């Protein structure tokens, strides 16, 4: 084998006149009047190789085709001026071939490997070919660089990387667990961890002070473009620390990543309460790359004039003003009205075009003598109903309007912390309250004393990191006493006996000296996607699943033999 002397990104002007050996894949070929040009590709770059008819090696070109693996020996020479390509590192030079060795032949690929085209299912089925594409290779190389930076940063802050188990106990609270049957204890099951939550808290009890891990997690939940059944998160925990300590560490990490790997200085990261985020943006993960905010007009003097929107007792009337919203069609505005009705809300609108007002609220405002202070072309949408529902609905309209009108600055990076989430949320299906983050989150103790009759008003010492409207990660100060942990379990309907069955070992650990501690977990795949400006996690994962959780390449999930099931003590009952 002709063993390579240079990677393809090393072929440049400094090597002109030298003999080199390169290894790689044939990316494409062109025959220009007898002279054959072939682009050779490896993960480092592209180089043009020239096969001239008078050279003995020319006869070998007849057997050459795309995706063949080859070794080429030749002389580096300067390209003609008109043929130079400044976009490539090797763009000023080419290799005049002297020897060619075909290391592996290839069938015609079922998908393109040098173009972003083709059916997505086919690309996932032949993922090993799709990964030859330079874009996906750049994404995964960037992923590697991010992981390397994270480890260096966390190590510099005295964190220790410790692995936690993949085969653990099922503690269902949140998404469904993936279960793994035990062969040695038939009828019993392991669960794949949704996160290392309990184990990282146990490490704090063990005295390790600062832990981190880039860890695989598993959740059996309905999928979409920004979810995968198995995913990676950046996980950390700190003893003798409070919320401010965690925010400082994570902010430094994120700012360092963007500055070092993207070349963006994100500045200081602001902190906003959950209630403020919901009131101003209608979302707990607001996208701050555009300036539309919700305005509370419940107590404005003209509210009583808005007969069909006027809020009833304990309701709110809020509005948003949309720049250039005057271009919205009546069909779009009617769709907002219909959607509001389906949510038991009332909605109206008014817009100003060439100085004139139109819309369902125009006459009402004119008769009330209200100065709307609308700019020309501006649209105002007002919505009345239950405050939380109004906030959520107008938050959705805000995002939809930004998308329709292209208001989002795609080049900007806006990061913020959202803090003080509600400790509990109502689960309508189970008719009970459940922990909004997880039940190990520290609540505001004074809120427990004051709001036992309405658990929705109890705040928690929790915090989310938001980047460009994406929830990037969550964390909290943790409960570190058995008494308070059992109190929280009781509030969400976990009995003493159930708590002992599911979390007994964890509760017992609290009795042996548990330091105050806090932590955080950030979606690694999602972080990579957002940093690269991508919308799908599949573009930053080497071997992803489809939205139905299927691996089209390997054919997973798949059936197993009856012998395997019998060994596990499992008998399947399949509906005919």
Helix (H) or strand (E) holding 404, with range, is helix 387-405
Give which of 341, 357, 209, 517 is closest to 349, Cα–Cα: 357
415-439, pLDDT tens digit by residue?
Answer: 999 999 999 988 878 778 888 888 8
181-209, pLDDT tens digit by residue?
Answer: 999 999 999 999 999 999 999 999 999 99
CA–CA separation, 380 vs 371, rounded Å? Answer: 13
In this prediction, residues 163-190 reach a mean pLDDT of: 88
Residue 212 confidence (pLDDT): 98
Instruction: Tell me which range, 160-164, 410-414, 447-451, 486-490, is most confidently predicted by mean pLDDT.
Output: 160-164
Q: Per-residue pLDDT for 310 more than 70?
A: no
Q: What is the CATH number of domain 290-408?
A: 3.30.1360.30
Confidence of residue 18 (pLDDT cuts 50, 70, 90): very high
Q: Per-residue pLDDT for 412 more than 90?
A: yes
For the chain, give the number of residues: 576
In this prediction, residues 437-465 reach a mean pLDDT of: 90
Q: Per-residue pLDDT for 460 more than 70?
A: yes
Higher pLDDT, 50 or 304: 50
Q: Per-residue pLDDT for 508 more than 80?
A: yes
- Residues of the chain within CATH 2.40.50.140 domain(s) are 8-104
Task: Count Cβ atoms below 10 Å from residue 252 Cβ, excluding itself.
Answer: 14
- Residues of the chain within CATH 3.30.1360.30 domain(s) are 290-408
In this prediction, residues 241-254 reach a mean pLDDT of: 98
Residue 307 confidence (pLDDT): 60
Give which of 212, 217, 213 is closest to 231, Cα–Cα: 217
Higher pLDDT, 300 or 89: 89
Q: Per-residue pLDDT for 56 more than 90?
A: yes
Confidence of residue 305 (pLDDT cuts 50, 70, 90): low
CA–CA separation, 407 vs 328, rounded Å? Answer: 14
Task: Count Cβ atoms below 10 Å from residue 121 Cβ, excluding itself.
Answer: 11
In this prediction, residues 344-359 reach a mean pLDDT of: 88
Residue 396 main-chain phi, psi, to 5 deg: -70, -40
Residue 119 confidence (pLDDT): 87
Q: Per-residue pLDDT for 324 more than 90?
A: no
Residue 373 confidence (pLDDT): 76
Average pLDDT across the chain, whole number: 91
Residue 368 confidence (pLDDT): 60
CA–CA separation, 133 vs 152, rounded Å? Answer: 29
Task: Count Cβ atoms below 10 Å from residue 448 Cβ, excluding itself.
Answer: 17
In this prediction, residues 235-260 reach a mean pLDDT of: 98
Q: Which CATH number fits domain 8-104: 2.30.110.20, 1.10.10.10, 2.40.50.140, 1.20.1050.10?
A: 2.40.50.140
Quick one: angle between helices 274-281 and 387-405, nearest 10? Answer: 60
Q: Per-residue pLDDT for 172 more than 70?
A: no
Residue 450 confidence (pLDDT): 84
Opening angle at CA 96, ends 93 and 100, nearest 5:
130
Opening angle at CA 347, ends 343 and 352, nearest 5:
150
Residue 297 confidence (pLDDT): 85
Q: Per-residue pLDDT for 354 more than 90?
A: no
Residue 571 confidence (pLDDT): 85
């Amino acid at each position: 084998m002709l063993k390579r002397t240079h990677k393809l990104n090393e072929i440049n002007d400094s090597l002109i006149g030298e003999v080199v050996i390169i290894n790689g894949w044939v990316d494409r070929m062109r025959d220009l009047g007898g002279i054959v040009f072939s682009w050779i590709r490896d993960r480092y770059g592209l180089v043009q190789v020239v096969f001239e008819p008078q050279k003995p090696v020319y006869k070998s070109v007849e057997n050459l085709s795309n995706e063949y693996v080859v070794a080429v020996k030749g002389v580096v020479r300067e390209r003609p001026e008109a043929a130079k390509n400044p976009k490539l590192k090797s763009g000023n030079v080419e290799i005049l071939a002297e020897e060619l060795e075909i290391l592996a032949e290839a069938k015609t690929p079922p998908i393109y490997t040098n173009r972003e085209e083709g059916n997505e299912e086919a690309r996932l089925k032949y993922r090993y070919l799709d990964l030859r594409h330079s874009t996906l290779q750049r994404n995964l190389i960037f992923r590697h660089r991010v992981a390397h930076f994270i480890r260096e940063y966390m190590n510099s802050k005295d964190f220790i990387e410790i692995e936690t188990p993949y085969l653990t106990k099922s503690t269902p609270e949140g998404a469904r667990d993936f279960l793994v049957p035990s062969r040695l204890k038939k009828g019993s099951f392991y669960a794949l961890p949704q996160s290392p939550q309990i184990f990282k808290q146990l490490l704090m009890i063990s005295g390790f002070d600062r832990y981190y891990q880039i860890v695989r997690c598993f959740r059996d939940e309905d999928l979409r473009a920004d979810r995968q059944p198995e995913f990676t998160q950046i996980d950390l925990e700190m003893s003798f620390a409070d919320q401010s300590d965690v925010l400082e560490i994570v902010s430094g990490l994120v700012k360092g990543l963007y500055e070092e790997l993207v070349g963006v200085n994100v500045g200081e990261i602001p902190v906003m309460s959950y209630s403020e985020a919901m009131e101003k943006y209608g979302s707990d993960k607001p996208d701050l790359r555009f300036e539309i905010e919700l305005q509370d007009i419940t107590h404005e003097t003209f509210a009583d004039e808005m007969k069909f929107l006027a809020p009833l007792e304990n309701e709110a009337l809020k509005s948003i003003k949309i720049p250039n919203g005057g271009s919205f069609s009546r069909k779009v505005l009617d769709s907002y009205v219909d959607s509001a009705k389906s949510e038991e809300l009332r909605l109206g609108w008014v817009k100003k075009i060439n100085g004139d007002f139109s819309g369902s609220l125009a006459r009402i405002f004119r008769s009330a003598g209200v100065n709307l202070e609308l700019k020309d072309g501006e649209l105002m949408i007002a919505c009345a109903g239950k405050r939380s529902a109004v906030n959520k609905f107008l938050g959705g309209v805000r995002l939809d309007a930004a998308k329709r009108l292209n208001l989002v600055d795609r080049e900007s990076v806006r990061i913020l912390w959202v803090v003080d989430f509600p400790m509990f949320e109502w689960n309508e299906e189970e008719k009970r309250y459940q922990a909004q983050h997880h039940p190990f989150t520290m609540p505001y103790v004074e809120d427990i004393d004051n709001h036992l009759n309405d658990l929705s008003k109890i705040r928690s010492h929790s915090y989310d990191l938001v980047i460009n409207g994406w929830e990037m990660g969550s964390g909290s100060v943790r409960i570190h006493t058995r008494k308070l942990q059992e109190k929280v379990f009781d509030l969400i309907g976990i009995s003493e006996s159930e708590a002992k069955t599911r979390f007994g070992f964890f509760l017992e650990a609290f009795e042996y000296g548990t330091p105050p501690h806090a932590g955080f977990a950030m979606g690694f795949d999602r972080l990579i996607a957002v940093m690269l400006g991508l919308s799908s996690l599949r573009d930053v994962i080497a071997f992803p699943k489809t939205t139905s959780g299927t691996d089209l390449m390997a054919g997973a999930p798949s059936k197993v033999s009856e012998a395997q099931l019998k060994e596990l003590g499992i008998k399947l009952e399949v509906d005919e």
